[in-house]
């Protein structure tokens, strides 16, 4: 069986080597992403694809790959894949959840702290040569300890953020499409509130929801207007959850105090004016970029492909509804 690894420099030890123990593996020979025309030709005889979230897996590509049995996405999110189209063609889709939870929460917490304390602004000042004397009135920053954290989406990463907030004696509010169970609320110390209340009452709002039709531009002009002028927005989920143009306007007018972003609406392109602002921290989509996490993502990607092509159910199958259409699978 043939596996195509669409990106040659996927980090994490053992991904290609692990696949080669079981299958014929072809790796994109060039740095960067495969050209669309080349990809449509290359997939004609592959049984499995290993892809990144920047690579579009749509009906056109699926139709060009009649032997394809599994698309293994090296990421938690899978909005780059037309899951319905894959399911209709009997193709399994997998991702790499769980293993990225702590690294993503660590990054979200780091940029929350950094924007609250103006770390990048004062770092530039210290390097500039302008620092001539210590003056107590300069760079008065926000408090974190004892404030209120609003978590939008109390999934794995949202719960990890709640655990970190406990160490800072924060009140934790959360909003989600459905209320979490009592056990999760108790363990997280999180209080369920409606979205508008969360936005009004939180000193920090952190986003941890998947990208779909319901969450696209979940945070826009109206939602930003509900936040305190002293509040901060953190996004380490998916860029299009925030209307970036509305965010630029809110930051320029100081409608909110600041923002910290790891993801962007049209990444790698930033909304016009965003990079010029001092009250925003911009990180180039590095939430899961720790050594241990990349190794775990690579290992899980291999597990998913091996299971799918061996007749077993992959450990992190996104579309279980595909199973009745897949003969020979061992439930």
Three-class DSSP labels, 206-230: EECCCCCCCCCCCECHHHHHHCCCC
Same domain, 111 and 241: yes
Please tell me the distance from the alpha carbon of residue 331 to that of residue 328, in angstroms, as a whole number.
9
Same domain, 272 and 295: no
Average model confidence (pLDDT) across the chain:
95
pLDDT above 70: residue 285: yes
Share of the chain above pLDDT 90, in %: 93
**Domain co-membership, 32 together with 177:** no
Q: Give a yes or no: residue 305 inside a domain.
A: yes
Task: Please give the pLDDT value at position 325.
Answer: 66
The predicted structure's pLDDT at residue 12:
84
Residue 115 and residue 59 share a domain: no
Element (H, E) at 3: strand 2-5
227 and 112 in a single domain? The answer is: yes
Q: How many distinct structural domains can be found in the chain?
A: 2
Contact 287, 304 (CB under 8 A): no
Asked whether residue 187 falls in the same domain as residue 224, the answer is: yes
Same domain for 230 and 303?
A: no
pLDDT, tens digit (0-9, with 9 covering 90-100), for 134-173: 999 999 999 999 999 999 999 999 999 999 999 999 999 9
> Residue 268: is the preceding peptide bond cis (ω within 30°)?
yes
- Label residue 13 by pLDDT band (50, 70, 90): confident
Mean pLDDT (whole number) for 179-200: 97
Q: Above 90 in pLDDT, residue 67?
A: yes
pLDDT digits (tens, 9 = 90+) for 109-145: 999 999 999 999 999 999 999 999 999 999 999 999 9
Average pLDDT over residues 22-31: 94
Q: Are residues 269 and 313 in the same domain?
A: no
Evaluate whether 194 touches 202 at the Cβ level (below 8 Å). no
Mean pLDDT of all residues in 30-42: 92
Q: Are 170 and 105 contained in the same domain?
A: yes
The Cα 229–Cα 255 span in angstroms is: 5
Q: 201-228 b/e with 16+ CB inside 10 Å = b?
A: bbbbbbbbbebeeebeebbbeebbebbb
Could you tell me if residue 331 is inside a domain? no
Q: Give Cβ neighbours of residue 206 (< 8 Å, ≥ 6 apart).
A: 108, 112, 149, 150, 151, 152, 158, 161, 233, 234, 235, 236
Q: Quick one: pLDDT at residue 200?
A: 98
Residues 217 and 234 in one domain: yes
User: Is 117 among the domain residues?
Assistant: yes
Beta strands 70-73; 48-51: pairing state: parallel
In angstroms, rounded to a whole number, what is the distance separating the alpha carbons of residues 52 and 150? 30
| Residue 140 resides in a domain | yes
**CATH number reported for the structural domain that contains residue 89 in this entry:** 3.40.50.720
What is the pLDDT averaged over residues 23-46? 94
Residue 314 has pLDDT above 70, yes or no: yes
Quick one: DSSP state of residue 34? P
Q: Are residues 80 and 182 in the same domain?
A: no
pLDDT of 77 reads 87
Catalytic residues: 238, 267, 285
| Domain-located, residue 177 | yes
Distance CA 50, CA 94 (A): 10
Domain residues for 295? 2-99+291-325
CA–CA gap between residue 61 and residue 264 (Å, rounded)? 25
Is residue 331 scored above 70 in pLDDT?
Answer: no
Local confidence band at 326 (pLDDT 50, 70, 90 cut-offs): low
Q: Does residue 330 fall inside a structural domain?
A: no
178, 152: one domain:
yes
| pTM for the full predicted model | 0.89
What is the rounded distance in angstroms from the CA atom of residue 77 to the CA atom of residue 84?
15
* Residue 273 included in any domain: yes
DSSP characters over 249-275: HHHHTTSSSEEEES--TBTTBPPTTST
Within a domain: residue 220?
A: yes
């Amino acid at each position: 069986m043939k596996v195509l690894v669409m990106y040659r420099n996927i980090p994490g030890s053992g991904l290609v080597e692990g696949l080669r123990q079981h299958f014929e593996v072809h790796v994109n020979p060039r740095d960067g992403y495969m050209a669309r025309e080349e990809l449509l030709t290359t997939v004609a005889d592959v049984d499995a694809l290993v892809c990144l979230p920047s690579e579009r897996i749509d009906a056109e590509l699926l139709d060009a790959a009649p032997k394809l049995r599994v698309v293994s996405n090296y990421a938690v999110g899978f909005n780059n894949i037309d899951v319905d189209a894959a399911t209709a063609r009997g193709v399994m889709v997998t991702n790499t959840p769980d293993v990225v939870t702590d690294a993503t929460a660590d990054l979200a917490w780091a940029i929350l702290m950094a924007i609250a304390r103006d770390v990048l602004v004062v770092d530039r000042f210290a390097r500039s040569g302008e620092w001539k004397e210590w003056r107590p009135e300069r760079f008065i920053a926000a408090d974190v300890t004892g404030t209120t954290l609003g978590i939008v989406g109390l999934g794995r990463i949202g719960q990890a953020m709640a655990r970190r907030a406990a160490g800072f004696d924060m009140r934790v509010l959360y909003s989600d499409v459905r209320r979490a169970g009592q056990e999760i609320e108790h363990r997280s110390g999180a209080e369920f509130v409606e979205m508008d209340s969360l936005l009004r009452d939180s000193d920090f709002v952190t986003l941890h929801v998947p990208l779909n039709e319901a969450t696209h531009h979940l945070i826009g002009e109206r939602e930003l207007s509900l936040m305190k002028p002293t509040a901060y927005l953190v996004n380490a989920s998916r860029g299009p959850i925030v209307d970036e143009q509305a965010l630029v306007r809110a930051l320029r007018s100081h409608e909110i105090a600041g923002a910290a972003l790891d993801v962007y609406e049209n990444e790698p392109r930033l909304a016009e004016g965003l990079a010029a602002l001092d009250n925003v921290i911009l990180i180039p989509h590095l939430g899961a970029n720790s050594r241990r996490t990349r190794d775990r993502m690579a290992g899980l990607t291999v597990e998913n492909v091996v299971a799918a092509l061996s007749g077993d159910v992959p450990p992190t199958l996104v579309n279980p509804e595909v199973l009745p259409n897949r003969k020979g699978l061992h439930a």
